[in-house]
Amino acid sequence: MQAMLSTALGGPETLQWSAQERPEPGPAEVLVAIRAASVNYPDTLMIRDLYQIKPPRPFAPGGEIAGEIIAVGRDVTSHAIGDRILALTGFGGFATHICIPASSAFKIPDQMSDVDAAGFVFTYGTSHHALKDRANLRSGETVLVLGGAGGVGSAAIELAKARGARVIAAVSTANKAHFCETIGADATVIYGRAPDKEEQISFGRNIKALAGSSGIDVVYDAVGGAYAEPALRAMAWQGRYLVVGFAAGIASIPMNLPLLKGCQIVGVFWGAAVQRAPADHQRNVSELFDLYSRGEIRPRIHATYPMEKAADALSEMQNRAVLGKIILTNTSD
């Protein structure tokens, strides 16, 4: 088998496409021939030791895969050789093969392609957990999605619309704004890169103008940095501010604002939620499959790369030029 290994701390240029011994599944595991793997922003952090999970080197990044089971452990009864499955792996997905616990594998619906399956659970799972479990988003509420053109952001737009919300997408370019409109955003607002104080104030005013007098009920923030405070200032009374990620850095928030707004700042650590409440995760994935089958959500594929070009894909991801998802594909056994 082959794997794209992180052998030294650094950026995508440090990754090496290397031969490895194919693993054998343990008693409760399945061996998967990976057909496609998704590139997600945490992959760019993990190889720099900037993510919550820090695997020992050498390791392959890649926390989301789709493929075919080619061997099963002796205790596995839930899956069989030949099953098409998708799974969260944490890391190890940028490879031709991987062993995973059978309990973490979900059978792919017949109508779903390997490419869609590989780009499905991480973004939609994160955003569904955020909007449903953490924000209790209700029909008729207004949602602001910071970083609306990215993987989790675009998923949040679709899922918020499916729940009957009005969606404002905040993005950095007109091209990204157009993309968000094509997937359902009701309005868009463009922010500058590395905004100064005056630009932050202008950004906040633009949000308030679009939100109207009632304000923003739910902020979905996968960006952080200088954009967080203007978004928080535009919130409605008893709104919910979802802390999802920090693409622009960790924000400094004046703590008088949650008091004045009577709002909640809510952490969204989806990976931990999956581990702590697996039954809820199973139910959420089932709900997402139903939404996919009804055509209400669909992964937006920005580009596909061969698995051995994972470094190029990660470079594009970290440059924040991606609209939706990047998928790595693999045709070898």
pLDDT at site 39: 94
Task: Report the percentage of the chain scoring pLDDT > 70.
Answer: 99
> Are 35 and 64 spatial neighbours (Cβ–Cβ below 8 Å)?
no
Residues 130 and 259 occupy one common structural domain? yes
pLDDT at site 261: 95
Q: Which domain holds residue 266?
A: 123-271
pLDDT at site 181: 97
Name the DSSP letter for residue 95. B
Strands (E), the chain: 2-6, 15-19, 29-39, 64-72, 84-88, 97-101, 105-107, 142-146, 166-171, 187-190, 216-221, 235-243, 264-267, 301-306, 325-329
- Per-residue pLDDT tens over the stretch 309-320: 999 999 998 887
pLDDT at site 75: 97
Residues 134 and 45 occupy one common structural domain? no
Q: Residue 333: which pLDDT band, with cuts at 50, 70 and 90?
A: low
pLDDT at site 108: 97
pLDDT at site 295: 95
Query: 12 versus 331: which is more confidently predicted?
Result: 12
- The backbone torsions φ and ψ at residue 275, rounded to the nearest 5 degrees and listed phi first, read -70, -35
Is residue 281 assigned to a domain? Answer: no
- Per-residue pLDDT tens over the stretch 33-77: 999 999 988 899 999 999 888 999 999 999 999 999 999 999 999
Total domain count, the chain: 2
Residues 19 and 128 occupy one common structural domain? no
Is residue 284 assigned to a domain? Answer: no
Q: Residue 332: which pLDDT band, with cuts at 50, 70 and 90?
A: low
pLDDT at 180 over 80: yes
Write the CATH number for 140.
3.40.50.720
Residues 148 and 262 occupy one common structural domain? yes
Q: How does the average pLDDT of the chain come out, rounded?
A: 94
Distance CA 144, CA 153 (A): 10
pLDDT at 211 over 90: yes
pLDDT at site 293: 96
> Are 140 and 245 spatial neighbours (Cβ–Cβ below 8 Å)?
no
pLDDT at site 248: 81
Q: Between vectors from CA 269 to CA 85 and to CA 61, what angle results, nearest 5°?
A: 50
- Looking at residue 201, its amino acid is I
Q: What is the mean pLDDT of residues 67-94?
A: 97
Residues 134 and 116 occupy one common structural domain? no
Distance CA 185, CA 154 (A): 9
Task: Report the percentage of the chain scoring pLDDT > 90.
Answer: 86
Q: What is the mean pLDDT of residues 96-114?
A: 96
> Are 33 and 114 spatial neighbours (Cβ–Cβ below 8 Å)?
no
Q: Residue 235: which pLDDT band, with cuts at 50, 70 and 90?
A: very high
Distance CA 184, CA 53 (A): 33
Residues 78 and 147 occupy one common structural domain? no
Distance CA 58, CA 6 (A): 5
pLDDT at 241 over 80: yes
Closest CA to 98 of 146, 169, 37: 37
pLDDT at site 286: 96
Residues 84 and 137 occupy one common structural domain? no
pLDDT at 331 over 80: no
Q: What is the mean pLDDT of residues 130-137?
A: 98
Residue 328: how many CA atoms within 13 Å on its side-chain side? 28
Residues 161 and 250 occupy one common structural domain? yes
Residues 127 and 243 occupy one common structural domain? yes
- Per-residue pLDDT tens over the stretch 189-201: 999 887 888 888 9
Residues 113 and 128 occupy one common structural domain? no
Write the CATH number for 6.
3.90.180.10
